[in-house]
């Protein structure tokens, strides 16, 4: 089975001690491709470093809504520089987080818009973080013509109606550990309704470990459990889910164009 973890943070300091073992376990589980996603400038640069050193690893660079208040013209300038790296495949993660509200909402929205424009300027797809902000995320994606950049709603947490809206906009939906949780609720419906050509899977490691590791540090090897759960829900073989989600990741992030 060949799996793609479309969203992980091996650039996080929680992997500094045992990065090599984590990567070895991912390989042993069949995870051939991992997109490491930045959330501030330091983690974006770290994602580029890891991608440069390791086959099958790629990077996304961007400023998380938690850090929106730190975003300046200089930040944009640094992101442009980082994005020039040949293994940078997306701008992310960017978006809105109305659960924690670490940055004021109006600031989050403005920085989200600026990074969506940057993605269009750089012709990169976007990786969207949306927590408790579905309506504003959707409105801003429409207003900023994000369809042109394309991309993925990572760790999708909405219901079937919101999923349909995002699919209509041309976006991919990525499912993570929560689809395995007892309280997965509407996610079970979403896992069944996403067209096969728009589905991605991820870990969001070190966060959101799937059952039976819930509450522990997550790692890319566990993306297999997400694939297995979705396969069970859709009446497919895990291998098929692994194959189609890997194919979709190659498409949305244009991985075949990277030498």
List contacts with Ni ion (CB under 5 A): 204
**Which residue minimizes CB distance to Ni ion?**
204
Question: Shortest distance, CB of residue 105 to Ni ion, whole angstroms?
Answer: 20
Residue 222 or 238: the one with the smaller Cβ distance to Ni ion is 222
Report which of 158, 155, 131, 253 is spatially closest to residue 203, judged by C-alpha positions: 155
Collapsed DSSP state (helix, strand, coil) of residue 233: helix
Residue 115 or 238: the one with the smaller Cβ distance to Ni ion is 115
Residue 180 or 203: the one with the smaller Cβ distance to Ni ion is 203
**CA 257/CA 235 separation, integer angstroms:** 33
**CA 11/CA 87 separation, integer angstroms:** 15
Question: Shortest distance, CB of residue 233 to Ni ion, whole angstroms?
Answer: 23
Question: Shortest distance, CB of residue 93 to Ni ion, whole angstroms?
Answer: 5
Residue 144 or 204: the one with the smaller Cβ distance to Ni ion is 204
Question: Shortest distance, CB of residue 181 to Ni ion, whole angstroms?
Answer: 17
HEC assignment per residue over 180-230: HCCCCCHHHHHHHHCCHHHEEECCCCCCCCCCCCCCCCCCHHHHHHHHHHH
Query: Dihedral of CA 194/57/120/114: which sign?
Result: positive
């Amino acid at each position: 089975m060949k799996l793609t973890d479309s969203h992980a943070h091996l650039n996080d300091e929680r992997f500094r001690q045992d990065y090599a073992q984590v990567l070895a376990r991912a390989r042993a589980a069949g995870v051939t491709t991992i997109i490491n996603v930045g959330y501030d400038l330091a983690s974006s640069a770290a994602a580029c470093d890891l991608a440069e050193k390791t086959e099958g690893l790629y990077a996304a660079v961007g400023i998380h809504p938690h850090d929106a208040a730190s975003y300046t013209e200089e930040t944009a300038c640094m992101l442009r520089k980082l994005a020039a790296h040949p293994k940078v495949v997306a701008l992310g993660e960017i978006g809105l987080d109305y659960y924690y509200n670490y940055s004021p909402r109006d600031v989050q929205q403005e920085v989200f818009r600026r990074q969506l424009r940057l993605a269009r300027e750089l012709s990169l797809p976007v990786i969207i973080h949306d927590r408790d902000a579905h309506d504003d995320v959707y409105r801003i994606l429409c207003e900023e013509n994000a369809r042109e950049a394309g991309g993925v709603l990572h760790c999708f947490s909405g219901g079937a109606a919101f999923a349909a809206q995002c699919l209509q906009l041309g976006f991919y939906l990525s499912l993570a550990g929560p689809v395995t949780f007892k309280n997965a609720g509407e996610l079970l419906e979403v896992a069944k309704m996403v067209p096969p050509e728009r589905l991605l899977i991820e870990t969001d490691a070190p966060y959101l470990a799937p059952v039976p590791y819930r509450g522990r540090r997550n790692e890319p090897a566990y993306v297999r459990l997400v694939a297995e759960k979705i396969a069970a829900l859709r009446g497919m073989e895990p291998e098929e889910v692994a194959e189609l989600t890997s194919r979709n990741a190659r498409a949305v992030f244009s991985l075949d164009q990277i030498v």
